[in-house]
Chain A
């Protein structure tokens, strides 16, 4: 049975709901040799700032139970070098290109969005207001409903593209932030970014990460992500993109059933660089086996 897997994310049309998550898929080209990249619905590139950023000193990562901590610190080439050096490759491939952006100030978010208006080959923006590892671009904007709304408004008024706002789980109530960015004009929200955590070397009595704390990702966070996605789906009427610990098609299907319009795969790519392609296959098989002709007949069908 031929199944229909296309979804619409606030004006961004995807041929299937499988996206890569920012910071785990480089600028796409890193994966070109490892999977058939054209199987994917969308690629979300590494977060971009106005100027290049060198990131945090090492050690930057540490394995933890069923997951990993990272404090890469948003190392990136900057928006200008991205357009010049990275975007040409992305134009040659089929998946939608979502550019993740972050700034030091509300104005800077708007400025980056404006620069990307002129860049041919960008299909949507994902606004990072949730990185736990840096002061700017980060959680300061994402944990305050008013600031989150202000950043969203600045990007929306500067950009011609659909705007997805990526939310942090490191807040008391994620639905409050989601509602705030919805009112400010966000076309969709993606959640969750990493959970702040830490790990200690007991022999040396030092943190395993130079940054002391880092963002936890991987299967360890999936139940938390799923719960937050489910709550947010009920709280807003814009599409929700589910992110957090998805390793397989069955993980992805849980998020879709909970109401996520699309999903992002991140850390799983480090374990298996072709993980996203397997998830696409697995979703199609599931739909087919369950007699569902259209993925939209599955999304948000959780029975409670």
Chain B
């Protein structure tokens, strides 16, 4: 059994701060043990209130960032209130205790030879992509980072401020045209798409299912590698409950677990319709 299993036990983390950045989108910062510093962009954590009865199941969240602040390691989670669980989390304040499991799942694959990183983010799907952009900027110096960021309105553009500091360019779309391109982020991406085709280009995306499905269709004749981060309801986060199934096309098809075989997948391997 060895002694390593201890690091995988659920840890107790203290809320450092929480604030609402744009409407119904919260940035939660928690103090975590130092081993969280090894987290990879694309990995996620399972979170629940320490000792709390509700929500009953932990909720999965992509990691938004991990950083050192003095002697502490801080984990950031950026989420949107979408249901009872996230509504309860939105009331967390400094000093509250959480039970956290992770980092879990596989991270994005970033080839060192990559020269252009293209991010296509829909709504709160920005969270894992922002962490990826940050890591690329830290480790790959002058890599070209282009982000396509979509939201409903100018007021609901989540994560913009940070991306503008990291990225070479941030291209914005809003459903109502109140800022940037009017329409879906995939429509904005489509206009530039032919630029992104070489071996040194990587595309990464996260957002609503319909958006990822439409991106998959757009890329059908484009050879660029594209990885997506998928979301699915899950109970355990480490492969036991089989709740988070997604149908893939490779290996003869069938279901795999978002938590363990993912949450990062090649966009061409995902069967979005089933």
A-side contacts of B56, CB under 8 Å = 63-68, 218-219, 271
Partner of B236, one of A33, A38, A75, A269: A269
Interface membership of B213, Cβ < 8 A: no
B57 and A33 within 8 A (CB)? no
B1 and A31 within 8 A (CB)? no
A273 and B245 within 8 A (CB)? no
B interface size (C-beta, 8 A): 34
Judged by DSSP, the binding face of B is loop
A55 and B245 within 8 A (CB)? yes
B-side contacts of A37, CB under 8 Å = 1
Q: Which chain A residues (181-227) contact chain B, with CB distance < 8 Å?
A: 218-219
A61 and B234 within 8 A (CB)? yes
Q: Which chain B residues (210-245) contact chain A, with CB distance < 8 Å?
A: 232-236, 238-245
Partner of A54, one of B5, B238, B254: B254
> Given A59-B233, A270-B240, A271-B57, A75–B245 Cβ distance below 8 Å?
yes
Interface membership of A26, Cβ < 8 A: yes
Interface membership of A236, Cβ < 8 A: no
Least CB separation from B48: chain A residue: A271
A-side contacts of B239, CB under 8 Å = 26, 30
| Alpha-carbon separation in the docked complex, A269 to B239 (Å) | 12
Contact with A along B1-30 (1 / 0, CB 8 A): 100110011100000000000000000000
Contact with B along A10-49 (1 / 0, CB 8 A): 0000000000000111100011111111100000001000
Interface membership of A57, Cβ < 8 A: yes
Query: What is the interface of chain A, defined by CB distance below 8 A to chain B?
Result: 23-26, 30-38, 46, 54-68, 70, 72, 75, 218-219, 267, 269-274
Besides A75-B255, A271-B57, 10 more A-B contacts (Cβ < 8 Å) are: A24-B241, A30-B240, A33-B4, A37-B1, A58-B244, A72-B243, A72-B245, A75-B245, A218-B56, A269-B236
A/B interface sample: 29 pairs, CB < 8 A: A25-B240, A26-B239, A30-B240, A34-B238, A36-B1, A36-B5, A37-B1, A55-B245, A57-B245, A58-B232, A58-B233, A60-B233, A60-B244, A60-B245, A61-B233, A63-B85, A67-B56, A68-B57, A72-B243, A72-B245, A75-B245, A75-B255, A218-B56, A267-B235, A269-B236, A270-B236, A271-B48, A271-B57, A272-B10
